Amino acid sequence: MITVALAKGALLKGSVSRFAKAGLDFSTVLDPDNRQLMVPSICGRARALLVRNGDVPVYVAYGQAQLGVVGFDVLSEKQMQLAHLIDLGFGGCRMSVAVKESSGYRRAIDLPPHCRVASKFTHCARTYFDKIDLPVELVHLTGSVELGPITGMAEAIVDLVATGRTLRDNGLISIEDLFHSSARLVGNPLALRMDVGELQSIVDLIRSEE
């Protein structure tokens, strides 16, 4: 049986829609009363694992799911051995450097060397600041990173930005984009190599809807 890892939250509805067009109906996961974490498709030939966005690459990499849908931001942060199959085009946002609007910083390179930068995405942040040759101290946070600059703990943050409203409401502005993120279909490399055509047919049907 094919197992698909689907991320809870913002990507779920779009993920269900794309798999439905490939003949796998996981619509029951959208029921607000659903509490199942492993849900069979309506046709019974596949099942979905309902997991946190950050856990999708783990389930796919370890082979508990052959396919999964996850944001490019998570893929960039996790750096796991996965087959990157399709940019699905929904769930768009950007990974950005942001600072207090009153700070006077308008480019990332304006930040003082060895300043503190708060982020959930410390790998992405480290890669970026190494690229621009700016040494910084990264502070890993798992909650509202906007509080870093507000409280004075950090000069800047690296975080996902969609509409920018949370930044504006907290007196912050985006000054640099690291990359744009969207939902991606990923696969387990071994499962794809051993596939007798069933996985590839699903991938092809999803790609045909681009």
Given a contact cutoff of 8 angstroms between Cβ atoms, the answer to whether 80 and 61 are in contact is yes
> pLDDT of the chain along its 210 residues, tens only?
899 999 999 999 999 999 998 999 999 888 888 888 888 887 778 999 999 999 999 999 999 999 999 999 999 999 999 999 999 999 999 999 999 999 999 999 999 999 999 999 999 999 999 999 999 999 999 989 999 999 999 999 999 999 999 999 999 999 999 999 999 999 999 999 999 889 999 999 999 876
Given a contact cutoff of 8 angstroms between Cβ atoms, the answer to whether 95 and 177 are in contact is yes
Domain ranges of the chain: 2-91+182-207, 93-181
Total Cβ atoms within 10 A of residue 79 = 11
pLDDT computed for residue 137 by the predictor: 98
Helix (H, G, I), strand (E, B) or coil at 29: helix
Fold of 93-181: D-Maltodextrin-Binding Protein; domain 2 (3.40.190)
pLDDT computed for residue 210 by the predictor: 62
pLDDT computed for residue 36 by the predictor: 82
pLDDT computed for residue 40 by the predictor: 82
**Contacts of residue 140, Cβ cutoff 8 Å, sequence gap at least 6:** 118, 119, 120, 122
* Domains 2-91+182-207 and 93-181 fall in the same CATH topology: yes
Class of domain 2-91+182-207: alpha beta
What end-to-end distance do the CA atoms of the chain give, in Å?
Answer: 26
User: Residue 108 has which token pair?
Assistant: 């990332």
